[in-house]
Amino acid sequence: MRKLSFLVSTLLVATTVVVGAAPDAGAEPDDTVSVTVEKAIENLPVAAEESSGYSAGKFRHWTDPDQDGCDTRAEVLIAEATTPPAVDGWCTITGGAWHSYYDKKDHSGTGALGVDHLVPLAEAWRSGASGWTAEERERFANDMDDPRVLAAMTAAEKRRKGDKDPARWEPSDDSADCRYIAEWAAVKGRWKLAVDPGELAALQNMVAECPTEEITYDLAL
């Protein structure tokens, strides 16, 4: 019991909570950031995008880290179901129901669903992931430690979104804007990704509807 108490105390001491200010160079992976959406957007580094060299293959995704037979895509579908589906020993998913918040649509079964990287892989590459290791890109592409990184969405809406950032795309359902930009800021902050000037302007314009909403995320890098 004493050993367990010591372990818990050590973990608590090892976690730094960064409130309000941008995480500085001393911030470590797993440190926690708690901030308003407005401040989170303000804290994101601004840089021009560079797309040369990108391919989706540089982000190894839909892996099965826990080797339970379900890859990351299946794990997201199972985790986000509003009515749990049946899952057999081969990870075949049948039944179930899901809600796609981008377009406010409910789905029975997985036929019309896709699993979306909220910050698309190409956007991540343009925003700093081109400088990551292959292992870091794989971690990003399969990140289930933060449920905002990956989301089950209407496949048609996912296709419309493509690799666009908030300057070029926003959810079909206008009431989803605050959630979308809060999650965008959290994912970019978590992975220390930059925004380009047009993207920043779009985020600042959209955040006027929800400037004081609080978000919390753990640093991945």
Please write the tens of the pLDDT for every residue from 167-212: 999 999 999 999 999 999 999 999 999 999 999 999 999 999 998 9
3-state secondary structure of 202: helix
Indicate the burial class of 32 (C-beta count within 10 angstroms; 0-12, 13-18, 19 or more).
middle
- Report pLDDT digits (tens) over 128-165: 999 999 999 999 999 999 999 999 999 999 999 999 99
What pLDDT is recorded for position 13? 37
The pair of three-digit structure tokens given for residue 173, joined into one six-digit string: 């359902």
Residue 1 pLDDT more than 60?
A: no
- Report pLDDT digits (tens) over 15-27: 556 666 666 656 7
Q: Is the pTM of this model over 0.85?
A: yes
